[in-house]
Chains A and B, each alone.
Chain A
């Protein structure tokens, strides 16, 4: 894969680096090992997809990388900054849109973006300007002065994305950005992500949609049961599976995913039949 030009960051190393990242939770039932030693290196200005079944550790990993969750062991850097040693330094360089658009329903879209501008240190005038720019970017000008409570799921996602971009971050973390969206809204978000990435922003996204990863990402990693089980470009991973299986049929990313997570189409089909019976 040819490296994309680094248009934004002064840092020339990996945009995201994780070494032996581990997260344990302690509950009444005992210790849960949510992430068991993740090693990742995401290059600057690439779109990196993080795939995995439900409960595999995707969101936990993202939350550690974005300073929202403490790290049990191992270390993580964003744009060369250790997220535990200098969380505010890391926060200045990243934008975060988590699962289920986290918005303040009692504000209007414009107020929310304006607030985020102020919190990231923009002057009141620049903050208003930036809010307007972003509202135009995500096509929410008409709804800008309406309460967020009345926004549809797609509108909420777009506003969440805009809020993550207020300070022009070097790295954008998106946790399942299109889950629950209709196909048209999903395509709008994809276009937006491509455009953001073209400007030099590194995009790290988790998704359950293999088609999304195939369409958008330069490289991907598959996590299962808290461990990375595959990592590479979509074409590399498909080629690798074809070679291991033999034959000339081109595997899909679904096949790669099922192979990597130890699941099979037969088993998946069986589960569906049991559910619908």
Chain B
């Protein structure tokens, strides 16, 4: 575990040395929050739209903003740079568990995710968005966003390890967009057309989004929250196993 800590400290230093990248990561998701809310708020007025639970449409859109922010991880690109520059081989030649090479990088993604999600939610609060589940819900919401950022960056690392190319890794990030839009992102699942409802139901991001939405719009309702954490746990474990396997078989 000490190798994870040492490599995690290194990746945190990297992130802190590039604060401008953090700004852009925050700007784009907030931009989508403003635009999406601005376009659809009049269609779904809060006083006559049951699924908004008395809040504005911005509250319904906030999970998408958080998930989008979590998808802008820098770890995969840093990894490609390391592969191209030869430092990745240097790390591979050290007797440390292979999982520490994977998790060391992702520690910074987790920390960055916590900061980003907190700032986004805090920015949203003055615009009438409240976290109905209270402080505990706020913490769970931020945690969920950060953990998803870790899992997602981990999958992007797989693309980096496989292709060893910055261009391919960047392009791989676009995979997220179909996943984000094949969800109940504008209306609840039961209001989607049948084909879209089926697509959303088999998309794991849906359960994450619904869990986040529940934390924003409802009291703490574990029946809606746990599927989100379950998605993170299952995909996180899969991501770790695949990454370790790929590093072990890396030639």
Contact = CB atoms under 8 A, between A and B. Distances in A.
Interface of A: 66-70, 87-89, 91-92, 94, 96, 98-107, 111, 115-116, 118-121, 163
Contacts of B251: 69-70
A111 B13 CA distance: 10
Given A101-B86, A106-B17, A68 B93 contact: yes
What bracket does the count of chain B residues touching chain A fall in? 20 to 34
B39 interface: no
B241 interface: no
Contact of B93 (A67, A70, A99, A106): A67
Contacts of B13: 106-107, 111
B86 A107 contact: no
12 contacts: A68-B93, A70-B249, A98-B89, A102-B85, A102-B87, A104-B82, A104-B87, A107-B10, A115-B6, A115-B7, A119-B3, A119-B7
B77 to A, nearest CB: 12
Contacts of B93: 66-68, 91, 94, 96
B163 to A, nearest CB: 15
A65 to B, nearest CB: 11
Contacts of A96: 89-90, 93
A118 B104 CA distance: 13
Interface string B77-93: 01001100111111111
A115 B9 CA distance: 9
Nearest to A23: B251
A118 B89 contact: no
Interface in B77-135: 78, 81-82, 85-96
A87 B93 CA distance: 9
Nearest to A117: B6
Contact of A91 (B78, B87, B94): B94
B223 interface: no
B85 A115 contact: no
Given A66-B93, A91-B93, A96-B93, A103 B87 contact: yes
A67 B85 CA distance: 19
Contacts of B48: none
A68 B89 contact: yes
Interface in B10-24: 10, 13-14, 17
B17 A98 contact: no
Contacts of B249: 70
Contacts of A120: 94-95
Contact of B92 (A68, A116, A118): A68
B2 interface: yes
A96 B91 CA distance: 10
A88 B95 contact: yes
A115 B90 contact: no
A102 B95 contact: no
Nearest to A116: B94
B95 A92 contact: yes
Interface in B30-48: none
A118 B6 contact: yes
Contacts of A88: 95
A116 B10 CA distance: 11
A106 B14 contact: yes
A75 B232 CA distance: 42
A102 B89 contact: yes
Contacts of A99: 86
Given A68-B93, A70-B251, A119 B6 contact: yes
B16 to A, nearest CB: 10
Nearest to A104: B87
Contacts of A69: 251
A104 B249 CA distance: 23
Contacts of A101: 86
Identify which of A66, A102, A118 gathers the most chain B CB atoms within 10 Å of its CB. A102
Given A91-B95, A103-B85, A107-B13, A118 B90 contact: no
